[in-house]
Amino acid sequence: MPKVIIVLPAFLFLSCLVATLHGNELETEEFWKIESKSFDSYWQQRAKEAEESNTKAAVADPFEVTANLSTNINQVLSQSENKTTNGRMLLRGHKDKNGPCEAYNPIDKCWRCDPNWEQNRQRLADCAQGFGRKTTGGKGGKIYVVTDSSDNDMLNPKPGTLRHAVIQNEPLWIIFARSMVIYLKQELIMNSHKTIDGRGANVHIAGGAGITIQYIKNVIIHGIHLHDIVPKEGGMIRDSVNHFGLRTRSDGDAISIFGSNNVWIDHCSLSKATDGLIDSIMGSTAITISNNQFAKHDEVMLFGANDNHDVDAKMQITVAFNNFGKGLIQRMPRCRWGFFHVVNNYYTHWLKYAIGGSMHPTIISEGNKFIAPDDRFLKEVTMRVLTPKSEWEKWQWRSIGDEFLNGAFFVQSGPEIVKEKSQYAQDMIMANPVKFVDQLTQHAGTLSCKVGKPC
C-alpha cells in the first residue's frame, strides 16, 4: 500500500472574484452577461488554459469511442455466455472460499473481483471506459486519509479534512479512515489529479453544499453518497494551496463540472439536490458517468447550460450502466451541442421525459431499458426542447437495440449510423445485450466493500 501522508500547505494568499453556478439561472443569457464580468485575471487565465486542455481532450471521431465501448461490452458478455448454459450467470468472475464474485459489466470486471482491492486501490484508475477512459485521477500519487468530517475553515482547511485534501497541488488518492457524514459549509472546490475513493467506508456528503470541478482536469469520484444538497451563500474560499477568492452563491448541484476534462463519476448514489445532481457545462468534455444510482430528484443531469454556448460543441460524455430510479422527473440527461453516448442504463421512472435536448446535440441511445410511466401522455422517452420539427428532425438521435416497456417509445431523427462512419462503426451496431441490462446495472450506486474480500 502506498505511503500514507497528510499534506501541509504553503499558503500564498491571493484574492479574486469568481462566478459560480446559479441553479436554473444558468440557462438564461442575462445571467451569463452579468457573471462574465466578475472573472478576474486569475480565473481568466484558468479559463484559457482549461479551454485549450478541453480541446485536446475531445476526440476527433466520437463514434470510434462509442464503438470501442460497445465492443468491450459485447466481448465480456460473449465470454460469460460461453461459460454458462443459459446466460443468466453473467460475469461471475473468479471464485474464492466465500463464493463467486459478481462483476456485471466491463468496468466492474476490471477491479471488483480482486480480494486485495484495498491494497490495490489505484488499480481502479485503469478501469474507466467511454469518453472519460483516460481519466486516472490521483494515480501515482500518495494516499491521503480523511480522518475529520468537519468543514469549518474555508481559507485554512484543517489537515485531515476532505477540503484540505482536494485543494492540494499534487496528485492524491483520497480515502476515508471511517464512515462519516460530511456537511459542506460551502462548495467543495477541487484541484486537478484527485481521486475521492469512498470504498471501505460509508461516506455521505449531505445537507450542505456540493462538489465543484471547475477549470481542472483528471478527477475520479467513486463510492460516495451525495444527497440533500443546497445552495450556500459563498464567501472567501480556498481552491488550491496558493489561491483563494471570493465566491458568489453556489447553485445547489451535487456535482458541478465547469470547463473541465477527464472526469469519471462511478458507483455513487445521488438524490435530492436543489438544482442538478450532475451538471456539465462550459465546454467540459472527456467525461464518463457510470454505475451510479439516481433517485428522488427533478432535473437530474444538465449537459450544456445555454443555447448560445457553442463551446459545448466539444462536449463528449458517456452515460453507462446507471440506474435511474424512483422519484425522478426529467433530464436523464438534457443535452446541448455535444455528443452523448447513453448505453446500457436502466430507466424505471420519469414524470416528464427521460432524454432531452436542444441545439442539435448528437445522442446515441444504445441498449437501454426504458419502462414508461402509466400516464398515457408520458410514454415518450425523448423531448426536443422548444424547437420546431423542421429543425430537430435533422438532429442525430438514434436508438440502437433499446428495450421499451409499458408503451415507452423513442422518437428518432437525423441520419442513421452507417458502418463507414469510423473503422469500428460495425462493432457499434452489433447485436445489443439489452437483455442483460438488469444485471449490468444491478450493483449501481455505492458498494459495500469489505477489506480482504471482493468488492
How many other CB atoms sit within 10 Å of the CB of residue 85?
7
Contact partners, residue 227, CB within 8 Å, separation at least 6: 204, 205, 206, 254, 269, 270, 271, 272, 273
Catalytic residue among 121, 163, 238, 331: 331
Measure the CA–CA gap between 440 and 455, rounded to whole angstroms: 15
The torsion of the CA quartet 50, 38, 208, 13, rounded to 10 degrees, works out to 80
CA nearest neighbour of 263 among 53, 44, 26, 445: 53
How many other CB atoms sit within 10 Å of the CB of residue 36?
11
**Residue 203 in contact with residue 247, Cβ under 8 Å?**
no
How many other CB atoms sit within 10 Å of the CB of residue 249?
17
Query: For 362, how many CA atoms within 13 A lie in the half-sphere containing its CB?
Result: 16
Measure the CA–CA gap between 19 and 251, rounded to whole angstroms: 11
Residue 314's Cα: distance from chain center in Å?
17
> CA torsion sign, 368 to 373 to 379 to 380?
negative
**Residue 135 in contact with residue 107, Cβ under 8 Å?**
no
CA nearest neighbour of 19 among 36, 2, 44: 36
Grid coordinates given for 284: 467540459
Helix (H) or strand (E) holding 109: helix 106-109
Give the DSSP letter string of 39-102.
--HHHHHHHHHHHHHHHHHS-S-HHHHHHHHHHHHHHHHHHHHHTSSSS-STT---EETTEE--
137: amino acid identity, one letter: G
160: amino acid identity, one letter: G
**DSSP for residue 26:** G
Helix (H) or strand (E) holding 328: strand 328-330
How many other CB atoms sit within 10 Å of the CB of residue 2?
12
**Residue 400 in contact with residue 365, Cβ under 8 Å?**
yes
Catalytic residue status for 163: no
Using the structure block, give the residue that is written with the C-alpha cell 469519471. 264
List, by residue number, the catalytic residues. Answer: 331
